[in-house]
């Protein structure tokens, strides 16, 4: 294996049952979905409990964790010393009903976290939404811990949350410590730090049909994580970087960077000595690398290992492609 030459890697989606989920990810992803409400498809995950598996080429069947162990330099390049596992967790979400009102820990965390977990900043790119869709991001001015506790007890928490009706293409930044939720038939792509820590404040009266019981809340832990100073998070205005390829910088923070490219003309993707991830939101095309071509379809996620450097993408028609960089990459 040590002499294997890496290439653009496609991964199988990992579907996740969620009581608030729906069936709309079947329209976005080609992999068959299990029965029941599916709220999440984890499309790139370097976690022991849910490890992404390569779905193409000689390395088919290998997990991303195995590749990180077997080809650390080829996979991560100059970022190798910073990361022992791939630092991002990527998902598609189908929020048919409302997610719980929740918050993720920041750094430093106010309470101990399980081994291997850390702070979690995330962001959403809206794929589809309707008139009843809602995104909650941040608190209204003047909201205090005591107000939140009282509103949780009397069922009025939503009155203290900033919200808006999303539209396809909207970009939403959710830094660690931000109270948030979404739902009402909204489909988003989610990028986040590789952490699975979530504290629920409120769950809209949901009852899990698998258990017949409400899901647990973690009010004290959540209140200890909330940033009461910065107020509402929310919509981000992308910055145009290249008009010819429609390349715009959507998110740029310490945890990740994400560009959106909309074009029917060929354009470069990837970068020297760092990994990049491509997510096809609309359209299709192919990645050209080292004389070979790799067809990419709507809903697919591809990892370009660091050793590949700059590749080229040739759209079949107009394509909407997300390109993602790891921290400092």
Would you say residue 53 has pLDDT above 60? Answer: yes
Separation CA 259–CA 308 (nearest Å): 19
Structure tokens at 112: 């101990």
User: Quick one: pLDDT at residue 3?
Assistant: 60
Closest CA to 235 of 105, 99, 96, 135: 135
Confidence of residue 55 (pLDDT cuts 50, 70, 90): very high
Each residue's pLDDT tens digit, 116-172: 556 899 999 999 999 999 999 999 999 999 999 999 999 999 999 999 999 999 999
User: Quick one: pLDDT at residue 113?
Assistant: 55
CA dihedral 148, 149, 154, 156 (to 10 degrees): 10
Beta-bridge partners for 235 = 172
Q: What are the distances in angstroms from CA 302 to CA 26, 42, 129, 286, 322? A: 19, 13, 25, 11, 10
- Sort 165 into a burial class: Cβ within 10 Å, 0-12 / 13-18 / 19+: middle
Element (H, E) at 43: strand 38-44
Q: What are the distances in angstroms from CA 168 to CA 21, 126, 153, 186, 237? A: 18, 5, 34, 9, 14
User: Quick one: pLDDT at residue 234?
Assistant: 85
Each residue's pLDDT tens digit, 267-290: 999 999 999 999 999 999 999 999
Structure tokens at 323: 């390109």
User: Quick one: pLDDT at residue 227?
Assistant: 87
Element (H, E) at 277: strand 276-282
Percent of the chain with pLDDT over 90: 82
For 128, the 3-state DSSP assignment is strand
User: Quick one: pLDDT at residue 196?
Assistant: 82
What is the CATH T-level fold of the domain 239-325, as seen in this structure?
Jelly Rolls (2.60.120)
Confidence of residue 230 (pLDDT cuts 50, 70, 90): confident
List % helix, strand, coil for the chain (3-state, nearest 5).
Answer: 15, 40, 45
Confidence of residue 111 (pLDDT cuts 50, 70, 90): low
Residue spans of the domains in the chain: they are 9-235, 239-325
DSSP-assigned states of every residue in 7-39: --EEB--EEEEEEEEESGGGGT--SPPPSS-EE
Structure tokens at 319: 């394509």
Would you say residue 207 has pLDDT above 80? Answer: yes
Tell me what the pLDDT averaged over the chain comes to. 92
Q: Do domains 9-235 and 239-325 have the same CATH topology?
A: yes
CB 279 within 8 A of CB 189: yes
CATH code of the domain occupying 9-235: 2.60.120.10
Query: Phi-psi bin for 17: left (phi > 0), alpha (psi -120 to 50), beta?
Result: beta
Each residue's pLDDT tens digit, 22-32: 999 999 999 99
Would you say residue 187 has pLDDT above 80? Answer: yes
Would you say residue 72 has pLDDT above 70? Answer: yes
User: Quick one: pLDDT at residue 245?
Assistant: 77
């Amino acid at each position: 294996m040590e002499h294997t030459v890496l290439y653009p890697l496609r991964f199988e989606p990992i579907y996740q049952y969620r009581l608030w989920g729906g069936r709309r990810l079947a329209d976005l992803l080609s992999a068959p979905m299990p029965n029941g409400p599916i709220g999440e498809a984890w499309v790139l995950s370097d976690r022991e409990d849910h490890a992404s598996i390569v779905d193409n080429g000689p390395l088919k069947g290998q997990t991303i964790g195995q590749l990180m162990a077997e080809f650390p330099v080829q996979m991560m390049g100059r970022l190798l010393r910073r990361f022992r596992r791939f630092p991002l967790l990527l998902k598609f979400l189908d929020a048919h009903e409302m997610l719980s009102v929740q918050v993720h820990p920041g750094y430093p965390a106010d309470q101990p976290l399980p081994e291997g977990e850390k702070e979690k900043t995330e962001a959403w790119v809206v794929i589809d939404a309707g008139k009843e869709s809602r995104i909650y991001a941040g608190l209204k001015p003047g909201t205090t811990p005591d107000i939140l506790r009282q509103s949780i007890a009397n069922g009025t928490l939503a009155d203290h949350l900033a919200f808006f009706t999303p539209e396809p293409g909207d970009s939403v930044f959710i830094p660690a410590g931000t109270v948030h939720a979404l739902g009402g038939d909204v489909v988003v792509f989610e990028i986040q730090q590789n952490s699975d820590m979530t504290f629920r404040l409120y769950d809209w009266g949901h009852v899990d049909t698998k258990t017949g019981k409400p899901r647990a809340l973690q009010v004290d832990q959540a209140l200890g994580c909330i940033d009461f100073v910065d107020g509402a998070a929310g919509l981000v205005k992308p910055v145009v970087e290249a008009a010819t390829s429609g390349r715009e910088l959507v998110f740029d923070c310490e945890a990740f960077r994400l560009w959106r490219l909309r074009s029917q003309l060929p354009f470069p993707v990837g970068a020297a000595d760092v990994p990049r991830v491509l997510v096809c939101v609309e359209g299709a095309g192919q990645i050209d690398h080292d004389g070979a071509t790799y067809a990419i379809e709507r809903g697919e996620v591809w990892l370009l290992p660091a050793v590949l450097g700059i590749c080229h993408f040739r759209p079949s028609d107009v394509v909407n492609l997300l390109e993602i960089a790891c921290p400092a990459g």
